[in-house]
Amino acid sequence: MELERRVARLEAIEAIKQLKTVYAEACDDDYDPVKMFPLFCTDAVWEAPGAFGRFDGRDAICEFFGGVSAPISWALHYTDAPLIEVADDLLSATADWYIFMPATIDDAPIWLMATYSDRYRVEDGAWKFAHVAVDIQRLTPFADGWVKTPHIGA
């Protein structure tokens, strides 16, 4: 039985990695809300305090993503170094990720460096995002670099 639980835990970790990759691909495809919709629990929360705000519920999250492609005309999400903890019930999990993202915002090249703190839950038989919290460490113009201008507008 112990081996079965260990394998189930590893399968959950892999499914969560795949979920994050599909999320990044949807973001990089003009933040496609149709692709985002099945990735989130119905009562999910997505937030980036001080930068993009907070959105409660899958519909509000997808509406946000549907509009964010206007100022963000291009982005490439590099997520890395996940630290994933699966709960003993194998139905919920947490993860911390690093993100490095070159992007074009308002026609200007920028660097974004942040961390994700995610919570996941199995809903309708699949791993989904229950809560995504983005902590933006640097959001800086490409030309300035993060030393000269750590945060746009700062």
Q: What does the domain layout of the chain look like in residue ranges?
A: 2-148
* Nearest in space to 99 (alpha carbons), one of 48, 30, 53, 44: 48
Compute the distance between CA of residue 123 and CA of residue 14 in angstroms, rounded to an integer: 16
**pLDDT mean across residues, the chain:** 94
- Tens of pLDDT along 6-65? 999 999 999 999 999 999 999 999 999 999 999 999 999 999 998 899 999 999 999 999
State which fold the 2-148 domain adopts.
Answer: Nuclear Transport Factor 2; Chain: A, (3.10.450)
Q: Quote the CA–CA distance of 1 and 6 in Å, as a whole number.
A: 9
SS3 30: coil
Helix, strand, coil shares, percent, the chain, to 5: 30, 45, 20
